[in-house]
Amino acid sequence: MKNFNIYRHKGFTLVELLISLAVGLGLLSGVLSVFVSMKTTTQETSTYGELQENGRFALSVLSDDLLRQDFWGDYVGTFDLANLNGSATAAPGNDCQGEGINNSTFPVAAGHFRTLWGETAAAGNPMGCFANTALAKVGSDILQLKRVVSSPILAADRSADNYYLITNIGDGEIFDGGDAVPIMDNSQIWEYQHHVYYITEQVQGTVSVPVLMQGRLTNSMTFAPIIDGIEMIRFMYGIDTTDDGVVNAYISADNMTQALWNNASNTKILAVKVFVLSRSVLPDNKYTNNNTYILGDLQFVPNDNFRRLLFSSTVTLFNARVDSW
């Protein structure tokens, strides 16, 4: 007869099961915590990356345009109707009229022609050219500037949808691209530009998104959004009050006088400090923004759930003291 060993097979006890479950839950909790932390970090990194991209792009656009402000090709001297050939050019459609008696697209025979001007918006349509669906954000700045595009063109390359300036050293004349080119010795043709920048709010889904708008001159002033997430722009104008080529003070648009805009009594605007406040498109309900953002002489404390980055730069207006290019 053979003997058989009988083995008893035991399972886990209740205590062992509870311990295993506790250990498993602890490990799972740790993994989930790491996952959530990584996801949050990734979202924050992505948001700040977007803020940096939008803010730097906006700062670059504004700075580059300011650098070329008041550039008139070969023309030497003060750019106003009295020093140009021909009569006043008819205003384009939807013309933007800034403050002052001579501050629309083309110079008229009255007062100083303002090639640079700005204001802090106190109403939605202070220049009379903003659409009702894209009104200016109150409290943010508006910037207006005029110049020609930096490279001359051939007469055959002009477009009927644009305006142009034909110049030599001593003369200049503005004309419609659909008209015949004026006759002028030793001249070149430059595309005439009038730009306006401001902030508006656009509804995207359930969120109101701040947008940087740009107005451009074609056969009329037309506007288009160029950068999302730009909440505020502000400019401080560097004034030389002693005519020695040195900035004596930086003044915000709402503190500029008519004489300063007109460069009266030998005062000149030689530089502009540009401030751009970039804001995330979507809020983060786990984040509260109580930071203080200083835009020149303005302090802004949002107290909401949006992330922000502030950018600034100082632009020297080389054309302000240059008599020829």
pLDDT recorded at residue 124? 97
Question: Is residue 281 over pLDDT 50?
Answer: yes
Name 17's Cβ contacts closer than 8 Å, sequence gap at least 6: none
Mean pLDDT of 105-131: 95
pLDDT at position 38: 65
The answer to whether residue 158 sits within a structural domain is no
- pLDDT value of residue 319: 85
Q: Average pLDDT of 5-10?
A: 58
Both structure tokens of 29: 């909790």
Mean pLDDT of 4-16: 64
Residue 289 maps to a domain: yes
Which pLDDT score is estimated for 325?
Answer: 41
The answer to whether residue 157 is domain-embedded is no
* pLDDT above 70 for 139: yes
Asked if the structure places residue 316 within a domain, the reply is yes
pLDDT surpassing 80 at residue 305: yes
Residue 116: inside a domain, yes or no? Answer: yes
Domain assignment present for residue 284? The answer is yes
Q: Is residue 63 part of a domain?
A: yes
For the ranges 137-151, 207-221, 261-275, the lowest mean pLDDT is seen at: 261-275
- Say if residue 5's pLDDT is above 60: no
Average pLDDT over residues 21-47: 71
Give the global pTM. 0.86
Q: Which residues contact 201 (CB under 8 A, 6 or more apart)?
A: 137, 208, 209, 210, 211
283/32: higher pLDDT: 283
Q: Is the residue at 17 inside a domain? A: no
Provide mean pLDDT across the span 274-294: 95
Residue 228 pLDDT greater than 60, yes or no = yes
Q: What is the pLDDT of residues 163-197, one digit of tens each?
A: 999 999 889 999 999 999 999 999 999 999 999 99
Q: What is the average pLDDT value for the chain, to the nearest integer?
A: 90
Q: What is the pLDDT of residue 9?
A: 58
Is pLDDT at 125 greater than 50 in this prediction? yes
Backbone φ and ψ for 121, nearest 5 degrees, come out as -65, 125
Q: Return d(Cα 105, Cα 113) in angstroms, integer.
A: 10
Residues in the chain, overall count = 325
| Beta-strand runs (E) in 126-267 | 141-148, 163-167, 172-176, 188-204, 207-217, 221-228, 230-240, 249-252
Q: What per-residue confidence (pLDDT) applies to 4? A: 53
**Closest by alpha carbon to 130, among 81, 176, 218, 198?**
198
Tokens of 303: 């107290």
- What's the mean pLDDT in 52-59? 96
Q: How many domains does the chain have?
A: 1
Residue 162 has pLDDT above 60, yes or no: yes
For residue 242, the enclosing domain spans 39-76+92-151+191-320
Q: Is residue 141 predicted with pLDDT exceeding 70?
A: yes
Q: Provide mean pLDDT across the span 231-258.
A: 94
* Confidence bin at 287 (pLDDT 50/70/90): very high
* C-alpha pair distances (Å), 308 with each of 50, 187, 213, 288: 10, 48, 19, 11
Averaged over 241-252, what is the pLDDT? 91
